[in-house]
């Protein structure tokens, strides 16, 4: 456990000045800020509609791309960057000749990547709420303050986090095995496009395919939107759907499998 904590701290120390770490912080900030500027200039779209509907438009603008491309690509990039730092500096050999269990080093790296994905999604929640409330302060006709979307937004992003774990394990392993960026990136990109297609054509087995999970999560939100009245849609988030269970199972299996591959692999 001590080895794990030391390695985890070291991962932070090593990456704290790299794009790998800062992209997890800057990406949500940048996207939310752009969204804020866009809606600030076109605030008449949101003016005088119920708070809940205004939030759906505001947060939905991010969520729409989140499921299809943003989240999977972010995972591809994070998984790549935590492993590339060792490939680039040829430091695998010195890492694995330290008096620390290989399991600790491997799992600390994985959990650090997991932490970065979590951090990024948590910041999306935070910045969406922050910029939304800021907008209704500046433009009182936008009624964000009339509805509290916090709980719903946290649920959605938490489900997206769980939906991303299967992809993360696969991409983490690919980035660990391949030195270059193109292989994990190319595989991840093609797999993501396939995932979006599977999810969008409602393929019955799409829930078994990890790269479809973020898209399925977003689609699930739309499906649960049952029109009760003429104007007020309802969104409920059912977190542990079967696609999420598959995502978790894939994450655990690939994570453990990856460790045995690392053990077998000779260190260059």
Q: Applying CB under 8 A, which residues contact another protein?
A: 6-7, 9-10, 13-14, 17-18, 85, 88-101, 264, 266-267
Q: Nearer Cβ to another protein, position 7 or 241?
A: 7
End-to-end CA distance of the chain: 26
Residue 13 CB, nearest distance to another protein (Å)?
5
Residue 243 CB, nearest distance to another protein (Å)?
38
Distance of CA 243 to the CA centre of its chain: 16
176: nearest Cα among 74, 249, 71, 263:
263
Q: How far apart are CA 184 and CA 174, in angstroms?
A: 6
With beta carbons less than 8 A apart as the criterion, state whether 246 and 166 touch: yes
Q: How far apart are CA 36 and CA 29, in angstroms?
A: 10
**Eight-state DSSP code of residue 267:** P
187: nearest Cα among 268, 72, 65, 88:
72
Residue 184 CB, nearest distance to another protein (Å)?
20
Q: Nearer Cβ to another protein, position 10 or 43?
A: 10
Q: How far apart are CA 187 and CA 181, in angstroms?
A: 10
Q: Nearer Cβ to another protein, position 49 or 98?
A: 98
Q: Nearer Cβ to another protein, position 40 or 92?
A: 92
Q: Nearer Cβ to another protein, position 48 or 97?
A: 97
Q: How far apart are CA 263 and CA 268, in angstroms?
A: 13
Give the 3-state secondary structure of residue 227.
strand
Cα-Cα-Cα-Cα torsion 201, 120, 128, 212, nearest 10 degrees, comes to 10
Residue 171 CB, nearest distance to another protein (Å)?
22
Q: How far apart are CA 148 and CA 51, in angstroms?
A: 8
Residue 91 CB, nearest distance to another protein (Å)?
4
Q: Nearer Cβ to another protein, position 85 or 193?
A: 85
Q: List the structure tokens of 153.
A: 């937004």
Residue 98 CB, nearest distance to another protein (Å)?
6
Q: Nearer Cβ to another protein, position 89 or 133?
A: 89
Residue 28 CB, nearest distance to another protein (Å)?
23
């Amino acid at each position: 456990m001590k080895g794990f904590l030391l390695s985890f701290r070291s991962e932070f120390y090593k990456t704290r000045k790299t794009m790998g770490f800062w992209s997890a912080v800057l990406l949500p900030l940048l996207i939310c800020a752009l969204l804020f500027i866009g809606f600030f200039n076109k605030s008449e779209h949101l003016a005088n509609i119920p708070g809940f509907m205004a939030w759906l438009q505001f947060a939905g603008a991010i969520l729409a791309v989140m499921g299809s491309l943003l989240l999977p690509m972010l995972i591809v990039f994070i998984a790549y960057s935590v492993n590339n730092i060792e490939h680039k500096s040829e430091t695998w050999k010195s890492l694995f000749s330290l008096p620390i269990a290989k399991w600790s080093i491997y799992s600390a790296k994985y959990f650090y990547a997991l932490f970065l994905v979590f951090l990024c999604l948590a910041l999306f929640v935070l910045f969406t709420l922050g910029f939304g409330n800021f907008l209704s302060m500046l433009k009182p006709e936008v009624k964000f303050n009339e509805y509290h979307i916090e709980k719903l937004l946290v649920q959605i992003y938490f489900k997206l986090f769980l939906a991303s774990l299967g992809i993360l394990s696969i991409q983490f392993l690919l980035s660990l095995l391949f030195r270059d960026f193109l292989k994990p990136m190319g595989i991840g990109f093609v797999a993501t496009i396939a995932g979006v297609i599977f999810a969008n054509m409602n393929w019955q087995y799409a829930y078994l395919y990890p790269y479809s999970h973020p898209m399925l999560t977003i689609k699930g939100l739309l499906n649960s939107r049952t029109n009760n009245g003429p104007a007020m849609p309802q969104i409920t988030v059912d977190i542990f759907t079967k696609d999420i269970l598959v995502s978790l199972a894939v994450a655990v299996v690939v994570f453990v499998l990856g460790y045995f591959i690392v053990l077998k692999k000779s260190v260059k």
